[in-house]
A and B are shown apart, each in its own frame.
Chain A
Amino acid sequence: MSLFDDYYTLLIESGPEILDGFIVSLKLLAGSCFFAFLLAVPLAIARVSENAWLRQFARTYSSIFRGTPLLVQIFIFYYGLSQFEAVRNSVIWPLLGDSFYCGITVLALNLTAYMAEDVRAGIMAVPHGEKEAATAYGLSKFQCYRYIIIPRALSIVTPVLGNEVIAQLKATALVSTITVLDMTGIVRRLSARSYTTDALIIAGVIYALTTLTISLVVRFAEHRNTRHIRR
């Protein structure tokens, strides 16, 4: 049982440190998901808008953020933008100069692109009759989106959005490359200090358990969101 003893001692010794990292990871996850969700809905609406420019903008945004590696995006925002004097003097510098906030920003912008595609798919999947019924009831375009299309679209894509959140948890690990001490950052330091991978494996197990928890929560949310269809 010496194998597990090692892990046990490591957890006793560095448990609080790993917990701190875990909390940072959760903050990154919650923050980026929150802002991404706020941005994704308007972007999805822009994606199906009648205005060709808006549509093109949304499509370009999505394809750029989905077509390049997240790590490269993080490097562009954190190392790349600091190259310019104008950026360093601008108002957004406090946001981009701090590795944690820069990490959240890039993660959110990246997730927005993915979520917008999902929400768009949801909007397309709303039965046409419901949209027509809303128009027939005299709902304005805004009301139509606010009360009919968006709620319906979101409940259709709940499971997909849940998968995006899980993928996002895994993506947060990347910000450890720009010196954010999230869980991956902490265990990398621990493992470099001890010359073993024990800490990395512990983090892996914690990530897997968190993923499991999130997927259970998503299943519950899905269950709740479809209660009007369920018998």
Chain B
Amino acid sequence: MLPPTIDARDVTIRFGSLTAVNRVSLTVAPGEVFGLLGPNGSGKTTLIRGLCGLVPLAEGKAIVLGRDVATESERVRAQIGYMSQKFSLYEDLTTRENIEFYSGIYGLSPAEAKARSEELMELTGVAPYLDQYAGRLSGGWKQRLALVCALLHRPRLIFLDEPTAGIDPVARRDLWDLLFRLAAEGISLVITTHYMDEAERCARVGYIYLSNLLVLGTPHELKQMPGVTPPGARWLEIYNADSANLLLRLRSLPGVLQATIFGQSIHALVREGCRNADLGLSQARVVETEPSLEDVFVTISRMQTEKK
């Protein structure tokens, strides 16, 4: 078995008296798509910066691509790609000029740069936009260009900080197809996102809340966590014509622990012994279901807040 791409143990990052990341341990395997979730300001981006060696670790140790980030951050950075949540290439430069700049920055020889950029253009399809200013590209194409620039030096690990925020669904799906092709080549991907459907696509997911990594596992494992579903309680999918009014009524009932609308249906957690008739659901179509990832994160966030 290959050694892990990332091996972080008790990583703690502090800014003065503020602890931004508290004792986070995780591993990412080669070719793994790892999702990092959590509310804004929970410490996701800081953790990524710590794993790149851009902010010093107050405690703990992180080995990335076989090197300690505390002592060899420059060598680590030479082997990782990074795509930030904001488009961070030069808008007044053309696609080609951006690619040439990053080829230079990563120390590629002209021949290498040419071969690699042709390869990546085939992968991403940015070739028709080579002579356009990057600022004029649409959101999806900007992200593809950013990906090309992040991949030029053949990194074995890529950090993507909310890569799909604000781009349309088609471009989003195309980007994910691309990411899976990279993972198939053995590149590890660490992705932060707020989209639950994206979290479901990840091999494993970590959830960070208030600087702590609360849970870590495959989406399936997380849904089976005992804390998410209290003993005896059930998750129901309720289909009814007037779901808005039904939701208000359900929320007022003592037997209903949680209820929320998903499109045409209501997603609810009900206590043991509560029959559909008790809830006034004789008319509705009710299907038993498993918790969604959103249910998992909402529940464990609440549990964490109540503990304090």
Judge: A and B partners, yes or no. Answer: no
